[in-house]
């Protein structure tokens, strides 16, 4: 019995190693090496190719992937090469999931139209005016989409409630009234009496300033100097 997962990997590798016609003629990759022909006895399970388009968020995302994957200048897209690769992607799933491929076919029609306009001769432009580029509107939409995609990735990297952290919660009954303790009249009287007793224990210490008389201290200094020729300064303040 064939290995379904291994066979599916041949047709639907991961996004970074996809495809198919990114390497030119390669239809798939096997262990990083391009595969140019599918084995004759290869079993392809139903819907094995859905991963190609379901991995992208839409036709604009697929087109931007093809451009960035090959480092093309988005302002000068090689439309013939990109259109061929895009059509190769869509063709692989169109006959399997028509509903999914419908929106991608609309972009494919737009690419073919732009490619055709570039092949047709252009009318002479006015002197000094820049010639109109059929790719201008597509480039504008791609740049706008890429800005929104980068902004979405930055927003997704921010912490999200319920995904990266959870808010702490405490369950309680909002309608439950607090129960007061049962107290008798006698206990209330005793508590009030204790409060009054504690109030009487507080005493206030009042500090009064000593009344100093300059004349008295002058007389004290003169008495200490009588009969003494020398006197240390601190002795004047001894009681």
pLDDT tens-place string over residues 147-204: 999 998 899 888 888 888 888 887 777 777 777 788 889 899 999 999 988 888 777 7
**Residues in a beta bridge with 35:** 28
pLDDT band at residue 146 under the 50/70/90 scheme: very high
47 has pLDDT over 90: no
Packing angle, helices 136-157 and 59-69, rounded to 10:
90
Packing angle, helices 79-94 and 98-119, rounded to 10:
160
Q: Is 121 left (phi over 0), alpha (psi -120 to 50) or beta?
A: beta
Note if the pTM is more than 0.95. no
145 has pLDDT over 80: yes
HSE of 74, CA atoms in CB hemisphere, 13 A: 18
- Tell me what the pLDDT averaged over the chain comes to: 76
For residue 41, count other CB atoms closer than 10 A to its CB. 6
Q: What percent of the chain has pLDDT over 90?
A: 6
Name, in order, each residue with C-beta under 8 angstroms of 82's C-beta and a sequence gap of 6 or more: 63, 66, 67, 72, 111
pLDDT at 192: 92
Stretch 207-226: mean pLDDT: 82
């Amino acid at each position: 019995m064939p290995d379904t997962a291994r066979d599916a990997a041949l047709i639907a590798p991961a996004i970074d190693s996809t495809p198919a016609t990114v390497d030119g003629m390669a239809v798939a990759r096997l262990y990083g090496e391009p595969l140019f022909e599918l084995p004759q006895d290869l079993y392809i399970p139903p819907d094995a190719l859905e991963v190609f388009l379901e991995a992208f968020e839409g036709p604009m995302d697929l087109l931007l992937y093809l451009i960035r994957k090959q480092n093309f200048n988005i302002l000068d897209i090689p439309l013939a090469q990109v259109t061929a690769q895009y059509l190769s992607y869509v063709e692989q799933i169109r006959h399997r999931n028509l509903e999914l491929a419908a929106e991608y076919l609309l972009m494919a029609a737009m690419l073919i139209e732009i490619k055709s306009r570039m092949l047709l001769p252009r009318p002479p432009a006015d002197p000094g005016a820049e010639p109109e580029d059929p790719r201008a509107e597509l480039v504008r939409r791609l740049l706008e989409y890429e800005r929104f995609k980068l902004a979405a990735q930055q927003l997704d990297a921010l912490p999200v409630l319920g995904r990266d952290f959870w808010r702490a919660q405490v369950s309680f009954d909002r309608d439950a009234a607090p129960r007061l303790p049962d107290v008798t009249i006698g206990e209330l009287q005793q508590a009030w009496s204790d409060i009054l007793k504690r109030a009487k224990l507080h005493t206030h210490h009042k500090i009064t300033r000593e009344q100093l008389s300059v004349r008295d201290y002058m007389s004290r200094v003169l008495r200490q100097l009588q009969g003494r020729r020398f006197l240390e300064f601190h002795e004047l303040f001894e009681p």
